[in-house]
Amino acid sequence: MTDPDVIARDGMSIIVNTKAMTDMSRIFATPNTPDPVVWSVADRKQGISFTLKLSAPVTQKVRFDWWLAEQK
């Protein structure tokens, strides 16, 4: 899935809303920006969302692709 341009309100995290999120979901997110972006999955809410926490604040929009894979 490709997200539209996203800028974190606090500059340090991005919340991705998706009903497909489960406790067994594996999250894959790839930045599509000219500048490097380093992040980790900081929060998971089953059936609601997941949050990516950035290692440094951003002031410009961050484009990225993401998808979930279900681990069984």
User: Does residue 5 sit within a domain?
Assistant: no
| Domain span holding position 49 | 13-70
61: DSSP letter: -
User: Does residue 4 sit within a domain?
Assistant: no
At 25, the pLDDT band (50, 70, 90 cuts) reads very high
User: Does residue 7 sit within a domain?
Assistant: no
Q: Region 11-15: what's the mean pLDDT?
A: 86
Q: What is the pLDDT of residues 26-59, one digit of tens each?
A: 999 998 888 888 999 999 999 999 999 999 888 7
What per-residue confidence (pLDDT) applies to 5? 46
What per-residue confidence (pLDDT) applies to 3? 54
Note whether 11 and 57 are within 8 A (CB).
Answer: yes
Q: 38 is written with which tokens?
A: 């380093």
The domain tally of the chain equals: 1
Note whether 66 and 1 are within 8 A (CB).
Answer: yes
Is 48 or 1 the better-scoring residue by pLDDT?
48
Q: What beta strand segments (E) does the chain contain? A: 13-17, 25-31, 39-45, 49-54, 64-70
User: Does residue 25 sit within a domain?
Assistant: yes
Q: 70 is written with which tokens?
A: 């279900």
